Chain A
């Protein structure tokens, strides 16, 4: 790899020392042989991939999966969700390589390499998307805890305390482990799905045949977009690359970064499919769930899976919101620091990282405050946030695509031809889905002419 910095004078900081301590453990594990050493190495290097994938199984994503199950039952959308996570793996793997090869965050690379004009476009997309998504995370938290009778302001306060508590160690490693522990609760949707006693024959049939098909109309397209937006969004690119850098991963760690990403995708897929299966009985009972929010799904499921199962579902929504609030606000803070060249690391003591922690906290607090304003039509935000994510993805992917094929910064780690074909296919699918969605809104009669509703 061509060096991206000259051997000029540099100052060693606390951030460097913390990162060096983490790297010593990685080097020690790598130096030993045997299965247990490899397992320890995986344990040390796993993190950004799992966090980003399970972080994206957030409030609006889980609502999208729940609504998919309630609207269409078991069928086309089960394998479709697997496909969307495969797209996410293709895209996120590139951020691992970029971060490990350049040791720079995504926003920083875009600004440095392409200039501030395109950099600011990219940042505006990220900022708007992140803030809208953060609002929906707090909506999910409020709704989920509302199922247990917790008042909205207390629910929001609990979420902010957890978010801030994870930061208190001022160590990337500790923050990562606390957040990883929280993500495990995303799998709570699996026991909920099992409680509904799904027909495994139908599930197997759906995976093999992609049937029953849902038809082709405006509603189906909206769900297709929402489910894609539930797995691939711009903040994921920025977060995983920045986290890879903050963790101190190098070229030697790329293989484990890939395993981390695939592991995260596998866990997130399991949770997503479980959520669809959990709400599929609502489809079987022909219940209309078009305008359901997080807690309403839990209430609707209560007669089928009991109070305990419904409580687990509501708790799952709360977890989804909290983890995503942590990761998305961190993604905003990383990007802000990278663009302004202010210190930006979870290894920073509070005094040295004032702007980083201030942006992180302010983003979360502002989104939380908006959720508490009475009478705001928040339902529209939940409906459009995944769609906006899909629409903003193609420009973000083209920047990623250009960076990861930039031989001057990537050296021999540029994407192979087959990865470029896959990435191009992802851009094509996302853009086509967006255009179809636009057509369905502007000229719905075209869909009717094609046989849809």
Chain B
């Protein structure tokens, strides 16, 4: 059910919104969180590997900047 509300929105605008936007597009509908999914082990391995890769490479970039000074 859609609650037609707010003092600033006219009835014509409410009708327009309900006829033009999909339910999921309404700002109010986005207050509902999308259900969480859990990672499988291979996914976690890839994510951690990339996280370590990024940290290591940032250290390399820092080293390069330090050497360039």
Using CB atoms and an 8 Å cutoff, list the residues of chain A in contact with chain B.
Answer: 3-17, 19-21, 23-24, 27, 102-104, 108-109, 112-115, 118, 121, 125, 248, 250, 341, 343, 345, 377, 380, 383-384, 387-388, 391-392, 394-395, 398, 402, 406, 408-409, 431, 434-435, 437-438, 441-442
Q: Are B25 and A248 in contact (CB under 8 A)?
A: yes
Using CB atoms and an 8 Å cutoff, list the residues of chain B in contact with chain A.
Answer: 1-6, 8-9, 13-14, 16-37, 39, 43, 46-47, 50-51, 53-54, 56-58, 60-61, 63-65, 68-69
Q: Are B53 and A394 in contact (CB under 8 A)?
A: yes
Q: Are B4 and A12 in contact (CB under 8 A)?
A: yes
The 5 closest A-B pairs by CB, nearest first: A10-B28, A5-B29, A20-B20, A112-B34, A5-B32
Q: Are B50 and A384 in contact (CB under 8 A)?
A: no
Interface of B is mostly: helix
Which residue of chain B has its CB nearest to the CB of A111?
B33
Given contacts A431-B53, A434-B53, 8 further A-B contacts (CB under 8 A): A4-B24, A9-B28, A12-B13, A13-B6, A113-B36, A248-B25, A384-B64, A395-B53
Output the least CB separation between B34 and chain A (Å). Answer: 4
Chain A residues with CB below 8 A from B16, complex form: 17, 20-21, 24
Q: Are B24 and A103 in contact (CB under 8 A)?
A: yes
Q: Are A113 and B61 in contact (CB under 8 A)?
A: no
Given contacts A6-B32, A9-B1, A14-B9, contact A343 B27 (CB under 8 A): yes
Measured in the bound complex, the distance between the Cα atoms of B9 and A14 in whole Å is 7
Interface of A is mostly: helix
Output the least CB separation between A64 and chain B (Å). Answer: 16
Q: Are A20 and B17 in contact (CB under 8 A)?
A: yes
Measured in the bound complex, the distance between the Cα atoms of B22 and A38 in whole Å is 22
Measured in the bound complex, the distance between the Cα atoms of B43 and A289 in whole Å is 44
Q: Are B34 and A104 in contact (CB under 8 A)?
A: yes
Measured in the bound complex, the distance between the Cα atoms of B21 and A12 in whole Å is 11
Chain B residues with CB below 8 A from A12, complex form: 2-6, 9, 13-14, 17-18, 26, 28
Output the least CB separation between A13 and chain B (Å). Answer: 5
